[in-house]
Structures are given as C-alpha cells and as structure tokens.
Amino acid sequence: MIDPEMEFYLDPSRCIGCQACFHACAECETHRGVSMIHLEYVDRAESVQTVPVVCMHCEDPACANACPADAIKKTADGVVQSALQSRCIGCSNCVLACPFGVPRYIAPIDQMMKCDMCYDRTSAGKRPMCVTVCPSGALTFATREEIEAKRRERPMNAFVFGAQPVRTKVRMMMPGAGPAREVDVEALTALSGALADLMEALP
Amino acid sequence: MARLPQSPEALIERFGPRLAEAPASGWENRDPDRLVKTHCSFCGLQCGIQLKVKDEQVVGFEPWEEFPVNRGMLCPKGVKRYLQGGHPDRLLSPLVRTDGGFREASWSEAMDRVVENIRRIQGTYGPDSFALLSGASLTNEKAYLMGKIARVALRTKNVDYNGRLCMVAAGTASRKAFGIDRAANPWSDIPLAKCLILAGANIGECFPILTDYVWRARDQGARIIAIDPRATPIARSADLLLPVRPGRDSALLNGILHVCLARGWVDREFVRDHTVGFDQVEEAVARYTPERTAGITGVPALLIEKAAEMWGQAATGMLLHARGIEHHTKGVENCLAAINLCLATGKIGKPGSGYAMITGQGNGQGGREHGQRCNQLPSGRDIENPAHRQVVAERWGVPEPSIPRTGLASTEMMEAIHRGEIRGLLSICFNPIVSLPDSDYTRAALEKLEFFGVIDLFMSETARHADVVLAGSMQEEDEGTVTTAEGRVVRIRKAVEPPGEAREDWRILCDIARQFAPWEKFPYSCAEDIFRELRHVSRGGPVDYYGITYARIEEEHGVFWPCPELGHAGTPRLYEGGRFFHPDGKARFHAVEYRPPAEDVDDEYPVILTSGRVVSQYLSGTQTRRIGPLVQQYPEPLVELHPKLAATVGVRTGDRVRVTSRRGTLILPCQVVKSIRPDTIFIPYHWAGEKSANRLTIRALDPQAKIPEFKVCAVRVERAS
C-alpha cells in the first residue's frame, strides 16, 4: 500500500524541461531501460514551457474502460497499473482513450506501458523515481499538509474535457489566487505569450 | 608534428564517439554488489549520487537523498552518467602515434617518450618551452599536483587550465572587490532572499537542481529577475525578464544601480562602514539613466526601473551570475558592476543577502584554488607576491627563486605555440579544439607542436593530435575531493578500479614528476597523502583548508572553506558583519564604464552570435557525446533564431542555415523560436568539427582575466541551399 497521506503533485509552472524525470523513469529496475513517462514542449516556437506527462491515475480510468483485454487494473489505493503483460494485445485503444495522452504503445514488445506511480517504490515507502530526481519541484510527492505549507499554488484534481469531467489521484497545482476551480483544458491551450510579446517588441 | 595520423573517420571508427545505450551489466540483472556514495562529475554543483557497482563495474545509480544539497535531485546528465561504465570507447592502455594511426604501447615505452620529449624540448628551447594544460573537472588533489609539477619538477612557468574558459572573470572580480574568490553565500541562503537577480545564468539547463532553490524563494514571496537575451526555462517563470542585448551587461547593471541611487535605495551606513570607493561608482552610474541604458542595452527603460524597484526595496536579496556576464572582454567589469549593486544596497554577508557566481565545471571552484593557474600558487596565493612565494617555497622545501613567475594563460598558449615559444605540451582533462574560441586556429597550433602528450579517458578530438596518449582515470576510479560552487569541499569516492591498463591520473602525474624532481618532493602513496600536503600548504593562506580532513567531510556532508583549524566549523557564509578579506577588512567598489564588445555587428556581419550549453551535454562533450540517451535528447546543435530574423533570412524550423563569422562558417539546422532576441542567434558549443560553434567565435580576451568573449561576436545568417 502507498501511504494514504502521500499525494503526487504536478506543477508545470516549475518545469524546466530537463528530462531528468524521463531518463530516471527508465532506470527503475522493473522498467529495464524503458521510460513510462514523457516530457513535452507545449509549443516550442512560442515558449520554452514544458510539461512532464506522468499518469494522472484517474478515478474512473478511460484507458482501463477502453481496454478490450481487461489488461489495465487499478489497485485498491487508486494506482492505475501499466498493462498486464499476459493480457495486453497491443491494440492501442488506451493510447487513444486517455485524455491526458499518457499511455504509449511500445512497438518492439507489442505492448502498452505507462506510469504506475513507481508502485514498487511508493508501496515500499519511497518516493517515485521521477519525483526523487526532479530538480525543480515540478513533480512532488508529499502530504497535503506539507504542500500547503510550502506552496502558494493550490492542488486540484477535477478536469473537464469538453463535456467530460475527469477526477484524478494526481493533483495539478494551479495559481493560488481566486477560488479553486476545475481546469478547462481547452481554454488553457491559448497560451499567454507575455515573454514572446516582449521579445517581439524589442528595438 | 601533431597532425592527425589518420582521417577523422578512421579515428572515429576506432575510438568513437560511440553511444552507450544500456548498462554494462545489461538491464536484466543489475542488482548491485554495493552502492558508493559520491558526486556527479558534470557541473559545479556536485550533486550527491550513489553509484551502483556490480561485478566491479558502474552499472547504474540510486538517488542519495541524505546529501543535503540536492537531496536526491539530479539532472539528466547525473541520471545517465553511469553509462560511461564499461564504455566501448574507453582508453584501456597507453597509445603511441605511428605513421598511420595509434598503436598500443607499454607504460614504460609511453612514459619514456613523454619524459624524453620534455627533456629534449626544455633542454633545447628552455624550461618555459614546455607547457602543461590542465582541467577544472579534476579533483583538488590533481589540480594541486599539476601546479606543483610545473613549478617544482618541470620548472616551467607555463601551466594553466580550462577554468580560463569558465570562471576566471568572476574570480578576478571577487578578489578585487572582496579580497577572496568564492561564492559569498551557501545555496541554502537562496530561499531566504526576497529578491533574486539571475544575471546570465541559465540555471534550468546548466545548474538544474538550483532551480528548486529559486522556486522555493518564489514560494516565500521572492521576486525573480532574469537578465538574459533568451527566455530560458528559469527566465520563463521569472517575475521580470530583462532581455539584454549580448555584451551590454555592465551598462544594464549600472542602470539598475542608477535607479536605486536616484530613489534612495542605498544602504549608506553599510557603504560608509564597510566599503571603499563608492564616490567614484556614484559618479559613474549617474550617467546611466534608464533612457540612456535602454539605448545601449536594448532593454526597455520601464523594465530597468522595475528591476531596481524589486531589488532596491527588497529586505534581502541575492545576485547570482554565471557565464552569461562572464564570457566577455569585459567579463571582470560585468562582475564588478554586479558586485557594486550588492554592496551599494548592503545585500551581502547576511542570511538571504549576498552574491554568488555559479561555477560551471565539476571542480570549477577547487580547480581554481590550488595552483594550476599560470598566475597562482596553491591556496589562492599570488605567484608574484614575495611573501606568498616564500611561504610556498618553504613548505615545498625549494628555494624561492626556483619557483617560476607568471606564465601564459591557456587562451594565450595557443598564440605562443604559433609564435614558436611553446614547443611541447602535456594536457589533461582539456579538449581545447572544441572548447577554445576560433577552433581552426587552435588546431593549427596543435599541428605545430614538436611533442604533444595527452592524459585522458576517451580519445577526445584534441587527443587525436597527440604523439602519446596516456590512459587515465574517470572520476569514479579515484579517491579525492572537489570543492563545489558554494565552497563546500566534498569527497569523490573510488567506486571501481581503472579498467584494463588505465591508471589513476595522480599516479601517472607523480611518475612523470619523479623523473624531474627528487622522489621526496612527490612522496605520495595515495590521494589522501596529497590532500594532507595541500591542507598544510594552505594553512594561513587566502584559501585555508587546514581544518578539513577526509573523515570530517564524510561525517559532515562536506566542509566549507575557510576552515583554518580542525575544530573550526567551516564558513558557509562569507563577509558576515561586513568583514571582507582585504587587509583593512573593507570591500572595494570599482567604477565601471560600459565599453562595447570586441566585435560588434556591422553591415557585413549584422547579427550577434551568442553561445552556451544545453541541459543534456557537458562542456566539450568528450563524455556526454558518448552517452546515448543524452545524445538522443538533443542530437546536434540547432541555431536558435527569432521569427523576425527567420523571416528576413527566409527559413523555417528545420531548414539549414549558413552562419558565417570572420573566423569560419557552419551549416546547421535552425529552430525558429520567440524565446530569443530578434537581433541575436544562439548556438550551443558542445560539438566538434563541422558542428563546432567555436569555429565562429572570436579570440578576444578580457585583459585582466584572459577569458574569451564566447557570448558575443558578429555573424551573417543565410539560408543554406
């Protein structure tokens, strides 16, 4: 069991795009050189903003629901596991279904692999590998009390994709001011280009 | 004659760079036999890391969460550095050049060649005709040894190191202003600051784990000001970005101080009691009004005023800078202008208030302390200071006049080779063909040498020109210490033995030294013996390590110098109570007048080129260009340019551009981004040959520090058909 007090927080405003998380994930002994997470530039032409893409561990996981082989299981403590090797048929339904773009089809083994919140480490009282190495605090594994004492941002875990609400085990850190609200993913895709505008206006 | 003995293709075929993709043990079974607590080799922060050792090879890592600086955090270089273990390119025996390439040689043959050539060249042309080049990624022990070999064994004045390309401008400025050369505050002060100025410091890519400290300051309400021509990852989330035109930093820093003065945000009491020379600074910065400063720097006046408001009104503040303001012909002046801002506002020597240069190389701090610089004796002592010379001569047991005087900086040595003054060279931990400016000039210099010896672990692009290559050790194959960028002395642990016939560097160096000096001058039987001598020689000097021992370092997770006695706790924060290291205890202001870069843009070369690092590569890439996952992260240099410039050139992301300077031409793919000034392009410098940014950069040096102007030169950018 993962300590029920410990929560996973994701804060892209802290991310520096270094990919330490991506590389470290591959180093976990159970992953054998394959990283189960990735890191994306949101729009490199506009900004250096990057986002680490770890599994959000949905309460009602679309990946598992879409799996025709029943290969994706959720643990009692809410971790959505990677595909069971014996069941996964490599169909990529989960890849298409996930609203966060998390699962990846790994062609050489004809299987899907995805982040399982380092279950081997977290269930043994350690932090996930990506969190442990993350040099910016963009990935954090801590108690609610700790995070509220340290951060201005507020954790939330309710998202809407068009009409579909999604609740997750992983918390997204949102700017601290104003009431906690759902993240409207569509609205956020229109990025603030303040720095880009500044560069544009230079003499 | 040190021309390449074979074609570059043939040399690459035999010696790489090849990519290591998987641990030497394979992925399936790498349960470690042991974990070794040591430090990452790939920047001045020296993150704590545990290396996994299996069957006497380094096969992985485990975070070291108890080490207080990084608490398990790492960057991708730290995560993947272990892939050097069992690397197919690793040099396993000495090599001697032949007419058609290199052949393996015995240690006795290879060493005899080195010694014979040193004797012949020094005998024919004089002692200074043979030079030593060293590196700032070496341990303190090896750095000390390199300086001592030059002064006691070879008696050449010409020993210098690649820190000349890294931190000498900051070091020179600190010695002038403070009387000592070290970051003033430990990193733990950063979260206590209410304002941070990050000047020319791409922290997110060059010192990734410091990001956590900066964000923790922000969590506590600190305002973050970034000074950079690019919106780097750390600048992206700063409160303020001052997108300075490259080469104008001293004007910008003067402009911020101007506003602080005009608004009364100056700590007059501190200035009166603890500093000298403020009047001249006040007079000089009076001319740097926001409007005039904006005209010089390309930073809008409003932003300059805002920066002054944030810094001047903050209760505490730290200014951190890196190569962005140091790699200039006025690098020292830029650093002094930064120090002026700290001193004038009294932001120094207090919790959360201070100043730090973020040293870039693995042992960038320790590498510049122990006497491997051309103008320095061990423990930060000045080679021209009679009292310093006397102390070192006594402790070494040599006559004072036998110690050579100031030699040539590494950046000047290439010119001396062209002039015929230097005929032979022994280099360790330095890849000048990639890292010095104007690569073609450097290559031509190496080709003129009568003898060139190299100690290295991989066949670097520079080593390919050698007559003899001695297979040395990797960081985790030897014991020692390094001094981190915050001044903390930490232990490097031997995880494994050097492979094959390769030997620990210090043993190779001692064997050479003992051919030229009595055995008792180099009597060491282990690295700790060298450290013990280093401590004793340093006693009472500017850089005092006397109270630091291997045992203490391990018990205390490192010790900060100065540490003059065994019972002394070490000194994490310098200048507390306004006490500086000049004889009168006061800091020195230095008035700085802006002057333009050595090569400014003109009609023929209308664009500024600035160079720097990416997060997945380290320095000249000798190690990191051999690590597969790091290479895949950023496989080749891209020319970053703004859409406005891209439109005039007629290119889109992925197109190839031809970049031409007065030194040379490169053709590289471009990346069109809004995160850079429209008048500036950026190229990272870690690659060799046709991809080497330093084929374009200018051999113009800061007159005081001899650091090259890597951050500004003029180029032409065209679409490559």
Spell out which residues of chain A touch residue B74, defining contact as CB-CB under 8 Å.
20, 24, 133, 135
- Is the pLDDT confidence value at A183 over 80? no
Is A198 part of any domain? no
Q: Which two tokens stand for residue A1?
A: 């069991």
Best residue in A11, A15, A27 for a mutation probing chain B (most B CBs within 10 Å): A27
- Is the pLDDT confidence value at A163 over 90? no
The mean pLDDT value of chain A amounts to 90
Q: How many CA atoms lie within 13 A of B171 on its CB side?
A: 24
Of A50, A134, A199, the CB nearest to B675: A199
Which residues neighbour B542 within 8 Å (Cβ) at sequence distance 6 or greater? B179, B180, B379, B380, B381, B581
8 Å CB contact between B386 and B393: no
Of B28, B80, B234, the CB nearest to A23: B80
- Is the pLDDT confidence value at B114 over 70? yes
- The torsion of the CA quartet B84, B89, B92, B98, rounded to 10 degrees, works out to -150
SS3 of B27, please?
coil
- Is the pLDDT confidence value at A185 over 70? no
- The mean pLDDT value for B577-601 works out to 98
Higher per-residue confidence, B617 vs A179? B617
In the prediction, which pLDDT does B237 show?
Answer: 87
- Is the pLDDT confidence value at B281 over 90? yes
Q: How confident is the model at residue B84 (pLDDT cuts 50, 70, 90)?
A: very high
Is A156 part of any domain? yes
**Measured between CB atoms, does B75 come within 8 Å of chain A?**
yes
Do residue B231 and residue A48 have CB atoms under 8 angstroms apart?
A: yes
Read off the pLDDT of residues B525-537 as tens digits, 9 standing for 90 and up.
999 999 999 999 9
CATH code for the domain in which residue A155 is found: 3.30.70.20
Spell out which residues of chain A touch residue B673, defining contact as CB-CB under 8 Å.
44-45, 48
Best residue in B45, B82, B237, B655 for a mutation probing chain A (most A CBs within 10 Å): B237
Do residue B615 and residue A17 have CB atoms under 8 angstroms apart?
A: yes
Which residues neighbour B297 within 8 Å (Cβ) at sequence distance 6 or greater? B242, B244, B245, B248, B249, B251, B252, B255, B304
Read off the pLDDT of residues B128-166 as tens digits, 9 standing for 90 and up.
999 999 999 999 999 999 999 999 999 999 999 999 999
End-to-end CA distance of chain B: 38
Q: Which two tokens stand for residue B247?
A: 């080469």
Of A44, A132, A135, the CB nearest to B211: A135
Do residue A195 and residue B644 have CB atoms under 8 angstroms apart?
A: no
Of A17, A45, A132, the CB nearest to B233: A17
- Is the pLDDT confidence value at A194 over 80? no
Q: How many domains does chain A have?
A: 1
Instruction: Provide DSSP, B40-88.
Output: -SSSTT--EEEEEEETTEEEEEEE-TTSTTTTT---HHHHHGGGGTT-T
Q: Rounded distance, CA A127 to CA B147, Å?
A: 45
A65/chain B closest Cα distance in angstroms: 32
Of A50, A134, A151, the CB nearest to B219: A151
In the prediction, which pLDDT does A190 show?
Answer: 41
Q: Which two tokens stand for residue B47?
A: 């993150």
The alpha helices in B136-209, defined as continuous H runs, are 140-148, 168-178, 203-206
Does residue B523 have a cis bond before it (omega within 30 degrees)? no
Do residue A18 and residue B615 have CB atoms under 8 angstroms apart?
A: yes
Spell out which residues of chain B touch residue A199, defining contact as CB-CB under 8 Å.
231, 243, 642, 674-678
Spell out which residues of chain A touch residue B31, defining contact as CB-CB under 8 Å.
29
**Measured between CB atoms, does B219 come within 8 Å of chain A?**
yes
Do residue B208 and residue A48 have CB atoms under 8 angstroms apart?
A: no
Is A196 part of any domain? no
Q: Rounded distance, CA B575 to CA B593, Å?
A: 26
- The mean pLDDT value for B565-572 works out to 98
Higher per-residue confidence, B154 vs A203? B154
- The mean pLDDT value for B48-70 works out to 98
Of A44, A136, A203, the CB nearest to B673: A44
Spell out which residues of chain B touch residue A15, defining contact as CB-CB under 8 Å.
233
**Measured between CB atoms, does B29 come within 8 Å of chain A?**
no
SS3 of B489, please?
strand
Do residue A20 and residue B672 have CB atoms under 8 angstroms apart?
A: no
Is A78 part of any domain? yes
In the prediction, which pLDDT does A162 show?
Answer: 85
Is A89 part of any domain? yes
- The mean pLDDT value for B412-438 works out to 97
Domains of chain B by range and CATH? 15-84 (3.30.200.210), 95-162+366-472+499-544 (3.40.50.740), 168-357 (3.40.228.10), 607-719 (2.40.40.20)
Q: Rounded distance, CA B280 to CA B277, Å?
A: 6
Do residue A45 and residue B643 have CB atoms under 8 angstroms apart?
A: yes
Is A1 part of any domain? no
Share of chain B above pLDDT 90, in %: 99
Model pTM above 0.90:
yes
Q: Rounded distance, CA B523 to CA A104, Å?
A: 59
Do residue B73 and residue A13 have CB atoms under 8 angstroms apart?
A: no
Q: Rounded distance, CA B222 to CA B216, Å?
A: 9
Do residue A196 and residue B674 have CB atoms under 8 angstroms apart?
A: yes
For residue A147, the enclosing domain spans 6-189
Read off the pLDDT of residues B364-406 as tens digits, 9 standing for 90 and up.
999 999 999 999 999 999 999 999 999 999 999 999 999 999 9
Is A197 part of any domain? no
In the prediction, which pLDDT does B2 show?
Answer: 65
Q: Which two tokens stand for residue B462?
A: 């520079």
* Nearest partner of A203 among B303, B236, B250, judged by Cα: B303
Scanning the structure block, which residue is given the tokens 């895709």? A189
